[in-house]
Amino acid sequence: MSSKPHPVSETSPSHTRLGPGREFDRIRRIVAELGNRAVGLGDDCAVLAAEGDQVCLSTDVSVEGVHFRREWLTLEEIGWRSAAAALSDLAAAAALPIGLLAALVIPEDLDPEAAEQLMVGVGGAAAMSGASVLGGDLSSGGLLSLTITVVGRTEHHLGRSGARVGDRLWVSGTLGGARSALEQWRTGEGTDPDHDARHAFAKPEPRIAEGRWLAHRGAHALIDLSDGLAGDVRHLAAASGVGCVVNLDALPLHISTGAGATLTGQAAAVFAAIGGEDYELLAAMPESFTPEAREFAVDFGTPLTNIGVVLDGPVQFLLDGEDVDLQGYSHFQ
């Protein structure tokens, strides 16, 4: 019989150090209020130690008007991206998904079949990631929202707090596609974004296998890029107690990033760095990892790019050798 799961840090109310921003200021106040009633807050996943593997848990909410608009996406796409956002937290923990629970709030103006259509998308993202739908809840309300709770397992949990001075920063895939879709919707007077940008926004793919691959090759820290590279680099640095230098000229840009950047008047690399919801992985890898990066592209059909270094000092972003002040996405801005 397995032992009852318990928090890995059950003897200590220690928490992952949080980066800057109004959202994280609120979390700090919540942590202070909870005191020793809370354990290990601040990482992508809560981790429970059981007999054998560690159990990883995370929850993510998607709210109409904040994370999506119904006129932009089908209900199936809304369900998919909501589930993918939560599953991406398991990727950042190098965890294998077990299943998910979905709590839906459905406005009365939607068709009776809306819940089924949403769950087709949720189920599709779950199946692609190797997870099952385990249950959930259903309610009515003024705005459409989906709260997805995911459960996974891993032999050795990775989080944000393990980066070491001298590590190199690597990012999977390409950046800026989701934000490009958003800007094209905002400025396009009802027209759809180009196909590649729309797909990046509507159908993100959690990097589950990629997170495991990086962990098995010595990653010291992982975080998924949900709040944008500029914000998430700061969260990784704060959690690890280190600084970072990011070379914006090295960023791997999505094919649609240039179109979105043109709409904002920003340099393409800056546009990509501050855009959220790419759901790629940022990894702090040992310096010796460099020659193995080519294997990643062969195994997964997407690049793995060295974009910076971990060091003592502040977090810096360099563009053409000049320091650029960047912040990531904030829900409370």
Instruction: In whole angstroms, give the CA distance from residue 62 to residue 168.
Output: 32
3-state class (DSSP) for residue 73 = coil
Instruction: In whole angstroms, give the CA distance from residue 203 to residue 46.
Output: 25
Q: How far, in whole angstroms, is CA 323 from its chain's centroid?
A: 25
Q: Which residue stretches of 251-309 are H helix?
A: 257-264, 268-274, 293-300
State the pLDDT confidence band at 16, using cuts at 50, 70 and 90. low
* pLDDT at position 10: 34
Residue predicted with more confidence, 26 or 321: 321
With contact defined as beta carbons under 8 Å apart, do 84 and 205 qualify?
A: yes
* pLDDT at position 233: 97
* pLDDT at position 291: 81
List the chain domain ranges.
43-154, 168-324
With contact defined as beta carbons under 8 Å apart, do 304 and 296 qualify?
A: yes
With contact defined as beta carbons under 8 Å apart, do 104 and 79 qualify?
A: no
Q: What is the dihedral of CA 136, 138, 139, 144, to 10 degrees?
A: 90
Whether 17 shows a pLDDT value over 80: the answer reads no
184-218 pLDDT, tens per residue? 999 985 578 999 999 999 999 999 999 999 999 99
What kind of fold does domain 43-154 have according to CATH? 60s Ribosomal Protein L30; Chain: A; (3.30.1330)
50-80 pLDDT, tens per residue? 777 899 999 999 999 999 999 999 999 999 9
Q: Name the CATH superfamily, with its identifier, for domain 168-324.
A: PurM-like C-terminal domain (3.90.650.10)
* pLDDT at position 332: 38
With contact defined as beta carbons under 8 Å apart, do 227 and 237 qualify?
A: no
- Please classify residue 65 by burial: count the beta carbons closer than 10 Å to its beta carbon, then call 0-12 exposed, 13-18 middle and 19+ buried: exposed
Q: Is the dihedral of CA 111, 117, 122, 125 positive or negative?
A: negative
Instruction: In whole angstroms, give the CA distance from residue 95 to residue 198.
Output: 28
8-state DSSP, 175: B
The rounded mean pLDDT for the chain is 89
3-state class (DSSP) for residue 310 = strand
128-166 pLDDT, tens per residue? 999 999 999 999 999 999 999 999 999 988 999 999 999
pTM of the model: 0.87
3-state class (DSSP) for residue 249 = helix
249-277 pLDDT, tens per residue? 999 999 999 999 999 999 999 999 999 99
